[in-house]
Structure 1
Amino acid sequence: MPRTHAAATAVALSALALAGCSSTATDDDAAASGEVQLVREGVLTMCTNPPYEPFEYEQDGEVVGLDVDVVREVADDLGVELEVVVTPFEGIQSGADLNAGNCDVVASGITITEEREENMDFSAPYFDADQGLLVAAGSGLDSVEALEGLQVGVQQATTGLDWAAEQGLSTVEFEDLGLQVQALRNGSVDAVVNDIAVLGPFADDELEIGTTFTTGEQYGLGVETGNTALLEAVDATLERIREDGTYDAIYETHIGTAPSEG
């Protein structure tokens, strides 16, 4: 937040004090009427944590990806602009960013879990996901058993970390996917576990997908607990884009294939 002169701050505080009662009443009236209330008027703010290609990543100085395109459809249906805010994944998955008013919706390849449902309200699922294994090409690492005694890179606060811990693997935590892959390339870890959909783009002459671990996970968009009006709007958009073919087009653009039926 930019700094302001003391005089300007005093004027602003005085204005807030005078307008406080009427402003609160207006917000309460909007909530009671079921109107969607946003952190900033005319803007739907989305918190996300790139790099997490193809869901959110930087391209030509702009954050793009499947999640961004889906949430932009929500913004379009609301008749507002979309603003993308980059924040650490911990604040996203814990609900802290939503509770602090940093954004209206969180979208960052977030798997719906019971623990996270205690921190935010989730939309209907919009993407099916499993865990995957990224390894050095020719390493032969293709199973949980093959990882015994090795160092496995995982992303902090993710279901990949939880899954690896449940398997009894020796893990090294990283703040984001990019740092995980960098550690694999420089030999700091022997393998990387993360969602299979985001590991594919890193497969090349040096790295390959070792295997996929079927976990049955699903992604959801998150809003602050109790923000029923926005949640209903998000779910309405998800239903609309599935019915009119928009979701299929977004999926094919970023994943390269049509979504599976069912």
Structure 2
Amino acid sequence: MKLVHAGQLTTCTHLPYPPFQFERDGKIVGFDVALIDLVAAQLKVEQVIVDKPFETIKTGADLNAGTCDIGAAGMTITDERKQNLDFSDPYFDAGQALLVRRGIGATSLEEVQSRQLKLGSQASTTGEEFAHRHGLDTQSFESSDAELNGLRTGQVDAVIQDYPVALNWLKDPANAAKFDLAANLSTGEQYGFAVQKDGNPRLQQLINKVIQQAKQDGTYQKLYEQWIGPMPAGVDGR
């Protein structure tokens, strides 16, 4: 197995992106982190995480530069990204959420547009692309934290963000008191882990094996419930 640094599995991610990867008590944790820890265990090495811009992860630049072995960043599999990355099998079904400041009253992107409300998005994400495809201009923020802060400070009236990330924000009572989940936007998105294009097929195969095994032995459901919440009916946790 080819690794960029002997004795460790190096993961590129973009922090913070709870509940998938974020820092808690000085340690980087989350759903993605826990799943890649399973891959590292199979290799009998430790996972080491490198914080990189999402743009250089999704374009394959970090993998091509030998910065890391895996891109794990709550990353949606798209045809465009497949041109630059080799993805694992999907490990998470995701959609988008519209989160609005309480009192705004908007319940759809169409209403945000018709009322000329200010919409925020995270740069280079499928949520931002989804909004643009639907004819909305957005104020682009570099990170999910910056996007949430834009909503807090009134820079924007609403934000579009991956549904599980928005749900995680609302676990904070201070956020729950100020913001409303206005819409769950079904987009058919699925997350995948990425390796270098045509560069590491054995690692790609191992990741797929670990995902499949975790679903079969109950580990996937345990981690899902630990980091995300109750696993909805119909989710492929087998």
TM-score, normalised with respect to structure 2: 0.93
Pairs within 5 Å for 1:178-197 = 178-197=145-164
**1:146 is matched by which residue type in structure 2?**
E
Partner of 1:75: 40
**2:61 is matched by which residue type in structure 1?**
A
* Aligned equivalent of 1:57, options 16, 22, 27: 22
Task: State the Cα distance separating 1:190 from its structure 2 match.
Answer: 1.1
Partner of 2:87: 122
Is 2:64 aligned against 1:135?
Answer: no
Partners of 1:248 and 1:259 within 8 A in 2 = no
Is 2:68 aligned against 1:96?
Answer: no
CA distance in 2: counterparts of 1:77 and 1:240, whole angstroms: 12
Task: State the Cα distance separating 1:150 from its structure 2 match.
Answer: 1.9
Task: State the Cα distance separating 1:259 from its structure 2 match.
Answer: 4.7
Pairs within 5 Å for 1:95-174 = 95-148=60-113, 149-174=116-141
Q: Which moved more, 1:131-140 or 1:187-196?
A: 131-140
Is 2:209 aligned against 1:236?
Answer: yes
* Aligned equivalent of 1:253, options 211, 214, 226: 226
Aligned pairs, number: 227
Deviations 1:127-171 (A, max 9, x none): 000010111123211101211122211111110111000111120
Partners of 2:168 and 2:228 within 8 A in 1 = no
> Which of 1 and 2 has greater Rg?
1
Report SS of the residue matched to 1:46: strand
Q: Give the unaligned 5+ runs of structure 1.
A: 1-35
Pairs within 5 Å for 1:215-234 = 215-226=187-198, 227-234=200-207
Report SS of the residue matched to 1:215: strand
Task: State the Cα distance separating 1:38 from its structure 2 match.
Answer: 0.2
Higher relative contact order (Cα pairs below 8 Å, separated by 6+ residues): 2
**1:254 is matched by which residue type in structure 2?**
W
CA distance in 1: counterparts of 2:230 and 2:118, whole angstroms: 33
Report SS of the residue matched to 1:115: helix
CA distance in 1: counterparts of 2:152 and 2:65, whole angstroms: 37
Partner of 2:173: none
Deviations 1:7-27 (A, max 9, x none): xxxxxxxxxxxxxxxxxxxxx
Q: CA RMSD in A?
A: 1.0
CA distance in 2: counterparts of 1:247 and 1:129, whole angstroms: 16
**1:225 is matched by which residue type in structure 2?**
K
Deviations 1:223-259 (A, max 9, x none): 0011111101111111111111111100000111025
Partners of 1:155 and 1:174 within 8 A in 2 = yes
**1:210 is matched by which residue type in structure 2?**
A
**1:100 is matched by which residue type in structure 2?**
A
CA distance in 2: counterparts of 1:220 and 1:161, whole angstroms: 18
Task: State the Cα distance separating 1:117 from its structure 2 match.
Answer: 0.3
**1:99 is matched by which residue type in structure 2?**
N
Q: Give the unaligned 5+ runs of structure 2.
A: 171-175
Partners of 1:251 and 1:259 within 8 A in 2 = no
Report SS of the residue matched to 1:52: coil
Partner of 2:144: 177
TM-score, normalised with respect to structure 1: 0.85
